[in-house]
A = this chain, B = another copy of it.
């Protein structure tokens, strides 16, 4: 019963199979191959516009490279205080941007709200060399609390960004889960709402090690390719990354896998919220459940073999726990956890 993260599960069989299919013969290395060209076509079709797609092996690399491409060393990046780029990347954005500043803002349920962004921006004096200069807003979709930004919420942040010459980055490590929840098109959840560059996750949702950066404005890719190489992220046998992503996007595998994970989380959430003393902390809109539970219950779940994160202490005798479902989480595990929880 592993609910620690969606990355504890392996790869989708379809994606593994795709590797074998691209393995024969020689191909141009470093991305000049046919599979990578087809990935760009596929992504452009999916997003309903020409996009530039660059496969990378981790979400941290995708985020840090995106920000370094958009933000100068003296820039500032506004984001949620719980954002992966703030909390979980060991300072990768600061390293890749050569010292830009992350401005961490609070916001309910893991989401930035327009008001606090505007307030924060007012603290920076534009053109004053003493102040880092706001250069980007970064949001996480689905958020670190398992909630999703609606297209109109994204558009609101994008408008703030555009007015001030900032770029809008979306950390879409769980973009699939968000699109599955929102029921909108990938375009509506990204560039149509004003996103400039998307870290498109695939690893957490069935790839082996493949995420992608999707640039919606060709002009933004400027020195990206040098940065990718200089940071050791240009893979020689690129076809093996591209093949993962191509299969992921093909035939709606990405959406089906995300729907499965989301449905598991919803089931889990419903089972837990019916239990006395348990409180669901954030709306369950993707594949994670945050529940405030009595410590005794947490202990009991663990004793039964369940694995999950203690997210934060949550008042007298309670803990906020995080349970994440993946495309491959067995239904039986959810049933079992629910049974144990129900006592």
Contacts and interface: CB of A to CB of B under 8 A. Distances in A.
Interface of A: 2, 4-5, 7-11, 13, 16, 19-20, 22-30, 56-58, 60-62, 64-65, 72-74, 76, 86-92, 94-96, 98-102, 104, 123, 129-133, 203-204, 208-209, 223, 225-237, 239-241
B99 A101 contact: no
Number of copies: 4
A164 to B, nearest CB: 17
Contacts of A123: 87
Nearest to A27: B8
B11 A130 contact: no
B241 A129 contact: no
21 contacts: A10-B24, A10-B25, A13-B23, A30-B129, A57-B235, A58-B232, A58-B236, A61-B232, A62-B232, A72-B223, A73-B91, A86-B101, A90-B132, A91-B100, A91-B101, A91-B132, A92-B232, A94-B101, A95-B230, A209-B236, A232-B233
A29 B129 CA distance: 13
A95 B286 CA distance: 37
Nearest to A224: B129
A241 B23 CA distance: 17
B74 A230 contact: yes
A90 B129 contact: yes
B16 A129 contact: no
The 10 A-B residue pairs with the shortest CB-CB distance, nearest first, are A61-B232, A2-B26, A94-B99, A95-B99, A74-B226, A7-B236, A10-B23, A60-B232, A129-B229, A8-B26
A193 B233 CA distance: 31
Given A28-B8, A129-B228, A209 B234 contact: no
Nearest to A11: B23
A73 B95 contact: yes
A10 B22 contact: yes
Contact of A11 (B29, B98, B226, B237): B237
A30 B89 CA distance: 13
Contacts of A130: 87-90, 229
Contacts of A104: 104
A16 B244 CA distance: 13
Contact of A87 (B19, B23, B131, B233): B131
A174 to B, nearest CB: 13
B10 A29 contact: no
A227 B64 contact: no
Nearest to A10: B23
A245 B187 CA distance: 39
Contacts of A133: 226
